[in-house]
């Protein structure tokens, strides 16, 4: 069975901080500030970044800063801590520098390693390059009497060869001459990947690389690792960040890089089911969320209109108008609408299905009803969905994620209780176990 070998089965957020900033009185200022994050602002995985976020000339000082800040604040940090070292598939000198920094940081006398869960290795190449890094982890562990394989290794996928290497993990992990079972996160690094693939776009915007993200998610699934998307650098664009995360979730990539505490909040929240359910209306190919007012779901845009006539209804979408009787209209609206269930809805449905299964029934229909108002015209519709074992199992993914968060992030309990209400939270952490 594809085993998960780490404390966290899900990681929503991967937050990097520069380890040493030049020209500041305290070069560790950014690290110190990040180490104090709590609750929704604190990431699942915090990455003191001694690679790209830190100037090359500051990286030795950065390694020292990691030791100092983690020794001091690591015990109380609510997420895991995985510093990023320097590494490059094409540079032995860079690899040796990364090894030296790991040896330095992992020295138990310095007091940091007991709070460190693993290291992040960027710019890996093919699988034999991953093994070189793994070997340095093993040496560090044996040098300091740590258990072999106890330090997690996460990698940044930022080359075509690393993308291909993910297809080989399953056959390489568990071989007697490596400890690749230590692999934890597979993180896409689209900026350097774009460079490695020699791709470009007219405006300089990054390509969206859907195939890479699929392959990373698949590699994680096959090897018991966790897939994480790279940085989204249009920091002010919260909507765009959420769209990217929704896309990723449909690929099984549930984690994402965060560059600011604000992005951490968004990314910690995005994979959690919403507090309240909502109805979507397909308006000429675009999903529009309806506004819920006094139990009625309102659409008040201009692109779709509905008017009652003497002998039925007139439905206009874009430039096309159709005359429908009530049954036809109901069927049409049935097809055009969909429902986004709340946490409460999901837990309800799961409990209902569990009870039905207990009673010997393998499939039950769940109904979702609503009154829609489009323009001034109202109509009630109801949508059935069959739930069977497979539906139930698939619905379990966001719930399992929630349970993983709840177990590992007590610092977020208050915010979760506030979001969902204590009753829903209580049922959600029990359902499906």
How many angstroms from the chain centroid is the CA of residue 391?
22
Site for its own copies in 298-317 (CB under 8 A): 301-303
Nearest distance from C-beta of residue 298 to its own copies, angstroms: 15
Q: Taking CB under 8 A as the rule, does residue 191 contact its own copies?
A: yes
Rounded CA-CA distance 88/98 in Å is: 9
**Residue with smaller CB distance to its own copies, 70 or 254:** 254
Candidate segments 25-33, 144-152, 218-226, 417-425, binder of its own copies by CB under 8 A = 218-226
What does each C-alpha distance from 10 to 96, 221, 409 come to in angstroms?
31, 12, 12
* Contact letters for its own copies, residues 15-34 (x by CB under 8 A): -------x------------
Candidate segments 77-85, 373-381, 393-401, 409-417, binder of its own copies by CB under 8 A = 393-401
Rounded CA-CA distance 270/402 in Å is: 11
- Token duo for residue 71: 């020794």
Candidate segments 115-123, 132-140, 180-188, 319-327, binder of its own copies by CB under 8 A = 319-327
Give Rg (Cα) of the chain: 25
- Token duo for residue 342: 């709340």
Site for its own copies in 145-184 (CB under 8 A): 159-161, 163-164, 167, 170-171
Q: Taking CB under 8 A as the rule, does residue 406 contact its own copies?
A: no
Please return the burial class of 204, using the count of CB atoms within 10 Å of its CB with bins 0-12, 13-18 and 19+: exposed
Rounded CA-CA distance 360/349 in Å is: 16
Q: Is 128 a catalytic residue?
A: no
- Count, residues near its own copies per rule CB under 8 A: 80
Nearest distance from C-beta of residue 230 to its own copies, angstroms: 11
Structural element, H or E, at residue 281: strand 278-283
Q: Taking CB under 8 A as the rule, does residue 197 contact its own copies?
A: yes
Nearest distance from C-beta of residue 381 to its own copies, angstroms: 14
Which member of 202, 295, 376, 410 binds its own copies (CB under 8 A)?
202
Q: Taking CB under 8 A as the rule, does residue 205 contact its own copies?
A: yes
Which member of 281, 298, 315, 395 binds its own copies (CB under 8 A)?
395
**What strands, in cross-sheet order, belong to the sheet with 13-18?**
80-81, 45-49, 13-18, 255-258, 226-229, 183-188, 152-157, 118-121
Count of alpha carbons within 13 angstroms of residue 232, beta-carbon side: 27
* Contact letters for its own copies, residues 327-366 (x by CB under 8 A): --------x--xxxx------------------x-x----
Which member of 252, 261, 262, 432 binds its own copies (CB under 8 A)?
252
Q: Taking CB under 8 A as the rule, does residue 276 contact its own copies?
A: no
Those residues whose C-beta lies under 8 Å from the C-beta of residue 246, and which sit 6 or more positions away, are: 270
The answer to whether 149 and 141 have CB atoms below 8 angstroms apart is yes
Q: Which of 388, 404, 411, 414 is catalytic?
A: 388
- What is the set of active-site residues? 388
């Amino acid at each position: 069975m594809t085993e998960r070998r780490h404390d966290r089965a899900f990681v929503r957020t991967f937050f990097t901080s520069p380890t040493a900033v030049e020209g500041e009185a305290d070069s560790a200022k950014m690290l110190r500030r990040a180490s104090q994050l709590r609750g929704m602002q604190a990431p699942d995985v915090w990455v003191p970044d001694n690679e790209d976020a830190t100037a090359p000339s500051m990286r030795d000082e950065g390694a020292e800063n990691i030791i100092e800040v983690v020794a001091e604040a690591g015990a109380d940090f609510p997420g895991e801590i995985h510093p990023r070292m320097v590494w490059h598939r094409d540079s032995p000198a860079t690899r040796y520098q990364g090894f030296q920094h790991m040896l330095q940081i992992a020295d138990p006398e310095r007091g940091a390693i007991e709070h460190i869960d693993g290291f992040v290795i960027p710019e890996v190449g093919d699988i034999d390059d991953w093994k070189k890094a793994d070997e340095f982890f093993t040496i560090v562990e044996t040098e300091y009497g740590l258990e072999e394989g106890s330090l997690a290794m996460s990698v940044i996928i930022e080359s075509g060869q690393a993308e291909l290497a993910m297809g080989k993990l399953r056959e390489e992990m568990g071989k007697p001459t490596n400890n690749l079972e230590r692999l934890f996160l597979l993180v896409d690094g689209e900026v350097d990947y774009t460079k490695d693939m020699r791709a470009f776009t007219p405006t300089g915007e990054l390509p969206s690389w859907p195939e890479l993200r699929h392959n990373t998610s698949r590699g994680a699934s096959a090897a018991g690792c966790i897939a994480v998307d790279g940085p989204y650098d249009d920091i002010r664009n919260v909507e765009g960040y959420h769209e990217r995360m929704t896309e990723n979730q449909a690929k099984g990539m549930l984690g994402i890089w965060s560059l600011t505490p604000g992005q951490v909040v968004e990314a910690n929240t995005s994979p959690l089911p919403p507090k309240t359910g909502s109805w979507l209306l397909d308006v000429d190919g675009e999903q529009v969320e309806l506004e819920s007012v006094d139990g009625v779901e309102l659409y008040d845009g201009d692109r779709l209109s509905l008017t009652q006539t003497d002998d039925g209804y007139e439905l206009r979408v874009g430039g096309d108008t159709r005359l429908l009787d009530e049954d036809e209209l109901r069927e049409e609206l049935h097809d055009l609408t969909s429902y986004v269930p709340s946490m409460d809805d999901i837990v309800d449905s799961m409990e209902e299905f569990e009870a039905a299964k207990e009673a010997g029934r393998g499939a039950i229909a769940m109904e979702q009803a609503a009154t829609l108002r489009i323009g001034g015209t109202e109509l009630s519709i109801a949508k059935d969905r069959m739930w069977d074992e497979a539906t139930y199992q698939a619905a379990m993914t966001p719930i399992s994620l929630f349970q993983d968060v709840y177990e590992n992030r007590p610092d977020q309990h208050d915010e979760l209780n506030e979001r969902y209400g204590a009753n829903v939270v209580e049922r959600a952490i029990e359902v499906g176990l």
